[in-house]
Structure 1
Amino acid sequence: MVLASLLVAALVLTGCTKKESRTTDQNGAETIDKIRLGVPTDFLTEYVAYIGLSEGIFARNNLEVEITSFSAGINTIDAVTIGQIDIGSGADFAVLNRLGGSQNSPLRIFSGVCELLNNSELYTRDPSIKSPEDLAGKSMIVMLGTVGEYYNSKTFASVGVPLSSVKFLPIEGNIEGVALIQNGNAHAMYANGRAAESLKKIEGIHTIANLSTYVPSTVCITIASEQFLKEHPQAIEKFIKSTNEVYELIRSNPQKAAEIVNKGNGAPIDQILVNFEIYVATVDFDQKFYDAMESLYQWMESSGIIKYPYDLHNYVNTNSLKKVFPGQGNFK
């Protein structure tokens, strides 16, 4: 995706674009740090943004946050790269892909978001398609540069269908994919959440596979530029602490958290509660996270997806995480 053509819906909830990172002012009072946060629509980090603002969690941690909403995690990663935002998040495939998209990427992973338990299902309205095997010679929706590419690859490899036999149709967002399925211009797409609910309204729609059969879970992480991490460590620390407090609220009172998110983005409360169950939320980036990403990296490199090979160790900086939560952020 061309960075200059990012399709962005700005959702400025509070704050300004000037960034500061000082611990105290001349009177000894802690200053307010400011960050520009990019969130993928209908994803856990969007939930964190709504809850953190509504419940005053960011404010209590002296953090002012400007939120911009994007259609997918990959768009937040690109926005960090070009300096449009300070912090983004995405699934393992998207982050690894962008790190290897150029030499000496400025991006750095600084904490975890969650382990996503994959509950997407593969939808089609074609009555002749009853399993993924039947998609040979057919068309399949994909959002290029995202973990969706990995999902499709693993699915078809598992059922013995060559990727070359499937016509992949690139989309910018799930709404576009649903429309292509509805008008018959695409045969199948993976979906969950609101996209799945929209698909279920289409006459003749049915599911032919569960993603968890092929890819049980996905690791999601937060990223920032190396420069921002060095120049504004206090802002990163406050963001990590605030995010963890939101996670604690979600675990202790999911109904209240879901109602806050519903007011913010209009998603059905029942669907938000389901999403809470599939997001194993944690700010930690530990050995499990690293091993999952390294394993995926090796597959991507061997598949020729990584343009510029690199050592993942060089693109993870958990110093702020370790300062906020000693004992976390450790890996070999």
Structure 2
Amino acid sequence: MKKRWISFLVILGLTAGLAGCGTQSQAAGDTKKEDTQTAGDAKTEEVQTVRLGVMTGNSDHWVAEVGTEQGIFEKYGIELKVTEFAAGINTIDAIVTDQVDIGNLADYAAINRLGNTQDDTDLRLIANFSSSSTGKLYVNPKEVTSLTDLSGKGLVTLAGTVWDYWNAKTLEQAGIEGDQQVLVNVDSAQAALGVMTTGEGVAFWASGTNAKKLEEAGMEPLLTMDELGLRTDAYFITTEKYIEDNKELLTNYLKAFQETQDWVLEYQEEAAKIVEEKTGIPQDQFLENLKQEKLLMGFSQDTKEHLNEIKDWALKAGQFEKDFNLDDFVDTTLLENGGFM
């Protein structure tokens, strides 16, 4: 798919996650002895560190913060070390360079990375933890009033992430081809907000806090994911070796994550206070974000079909050179061990 690219190095608005990429933490699998009274009156003497890479402000981020605050991860013998990143795809780089043990990423980003490294990667998807189809395409109303107005104008993207997929499907829907496809490449959603307000970009897919900021800047929604027939699933990913060495630890991590999800849904107001304190997301915005996202823990047949649909599209679009079997890069044994499947 031919397109013109405009790249910007945008410093304003970068998340703390990029600077925090090198956060030091106890090595995976190292343990320390503690006599710890945990949530639910459970007790464990061995605490193991799990280094988690999250997308700033995403559900995995605030579940990690709430679960730590409530002692749920501690209950399962886990000391969670969290490092924030601008996009889920960045967590894969952190896994490969041994900066984190587990990362999160969206469906297209997973397929794109696996497709392009299929012959020399041991990355494995281990669980689908959320799903959403509530994103909207926000546009500058002075520049865009219909999809066809995007021809020759800047559609903002984060290269290699799910934004590439959303934008490609948007341009397909609009019937815009070749050199009239203009993608403005930025390195974070926060940077995208800056590009939109300066006029370098005229359209950006957003939800939650980012959508609210765009609305405050005068941008208006033009298209929804539902109208485009899209949904976005988020996954945990790690390596085959880490799974082999830490089966019980990872199973407990998934249990703790789901227990925290359940707690958040039951005690939404209290969770909102914790999230605001830990992440800066206003309580009302957190509660609105929570309505827009389905929290889950599993790897259903529907999930596999969803990923295979994206894979088939990406292969046809030339995103990678050859097909691959998705099952080769999915490991559900942890979910099975934890009673999720």
Report the TM-score when normalising by structure 1: 0.89
Task: For 1:273 and 1:239, locate their aligned partners in 2 and report how far apart those are by CA, in whole Å.
Answer: 25
Task: For 1:167 and 1:12, locate their aligned partners in 2 and report how far apart those are by CA, in whole Å.
Answer: 33
Residue of 17, 29, 33 corresponding to 2:26:
17
**2:124 partner amino acid:** R
**1:124 partner amino acid:** V
Q: Deviations over 1:228-276 (max 9, x none)?
A: 0011112101110101101111221222222211111111212211221
User: Identity of counterpart residues, as a percentage?
Assistant: 26
| Aligned-partner SS, 1:31 | strand
Structure 1 residue 299 corresponds to structure 2 residue 313: yes
Aligned to 1:105: 121
1:12 offset after TM fit, Å?
Answer: 10
Structure 1 residue 115 corresponds to structure 2 residue 131: yes
Residue of 47, 58, 61 corresponding to 1:32:
47
Structure 1 residue 281 corresponds to structure 2 residue 295: yes
1:154 to 1:206, Cα distance in 2 relative to 1, 3 A: same
Q: Deviations over 1:29-72 (max 9, x none)?
A: 65222111000011110011111111000111111111100011
Structure 1 residue 322 corresponds to structure 2 residue 336: yes
1:321 offset after TM fit, Å?
Answer: 1.1
1:158 to 1:266, Cα distance in 2 relative to 1, 3 A: same
Aligned to 1:223: 237
1:268 to 1:125, Cα distance in 2 relative to 1, 3 A: same
CA contact (8 A) 1:151 1:215 kept: no
1:144 to 1:265, Cα distance in 2 relative to 1, 3 A: same
Task: For 2:293 and 2:22, locate their aligned partners in 1 and report how far apart those are by CA, in whole Å.
Answer: 25
CA contact (8 A) 1:258 1:272 kept: yes
| Aligned-partner SS, 1:85 | coil
Q: Structure 2 matches for 1:192-203, cutoff 5 A? A: 192-203=207-218
**2:139 partner amino acid:** T
Task: For 2:112 and 2:186, locate their aligned partners in 1 and report how far apart those are by CA, in whole Å.
Answer: 18
CA contact (8 A) 1:81 1:106 kept: no
- Give the alignment's Cα RMSD to 1 decimal: 2.5
Q: Structure 2 matches for 1:124-135, cutoff 5 A? A: 124-135=139-150
CA contact (8 A) 2:152 2:180 kept: yes
Aligned residues: 318
1:222 offset after TM fit, Å?
Answer: 0.5
CA contact (8 A) 2:209 2:289 kept: no
Aligned to 1:180: 195
1:101 offset after TM fit, Å?
Answer: 1.8
1:197 offset after TM fit, Å?
Answer: 2.0
Structure 1 range deviating more: 149-158 or 162-171:
162-171
CA contact (8 A) 1:284 1:321 kept: yes
| Aligned-partner SS, 1:186 | coil
Specify every segment of 5 or more residues in structure 1 that has no aligned partner in the other structure, as ranges: none
Structure 1 residue 260 corresponds to structure 2 residue 269: no
Structure 1 residue 236 corresponds to structure 2 residue 250: yes
Aligned to 1:154: 169
Aligned to 2:3: none
Report the TM-score when normalising by structure 2: 0.86
Task: For 1:254 and 1:164, locate their aligned partners in 2 and report how far apart those are by CA, in whole Å.
Answer: 47
Residue of 136, 153, 156 corresponding to 2:151:
136
Task: For 2:66 and 2:313, locate their aligned partners in 1 and report how far apart those are by CA, in whole Å.
Answer: 36
**1:320 partner amino acid:** L
Residue of 52, 64, 80 corresponding to 1:49:
64
Task: For 1:178 and 1:44, locate their aligned partners in 2 and report how far apart those are by CA, in whole Å.
Answer: 20
1:223 offset after TM fit, Å?
Answer: 0.4
| Aligned-partner SS, 1:101 | helix
Task: For 1:81 and 1:19, locate their aligned partners in 2 and report how far apart those are by CA, in whole Å.
Answer: 14
1:125 to 1:322, Cα distance in 2 relative to 1, 3 A: same
Task: For 2:62 and 2:95, locate their aligned partners in 1 and report how far apart those are by CA, in whole Å.
Answer: 20
Structure 1 residue 71 corresponds to structure 2 residue 86: yes
1:11 offset after TM fit, Å?
Answer: 8.8
**1:82 partner amino acid:** T
**1:197 partner amino acid:** K
Task: For 1:323 and 1:176, locate their aligned partners in 2 and report how far apart those are by CA, in whole Å.
Answer: 41
Specify every segment of 5 or more residues in structure 2 that has no aligned partner in the other structure, as ranges: 1-6, 8-14, 35-43
Task: For 1:163 and 1:218, locate their aligned partners in 2 and report how far apart those are by CA, in whole Å.
Answer: 26
Aligned to 1:312: 326
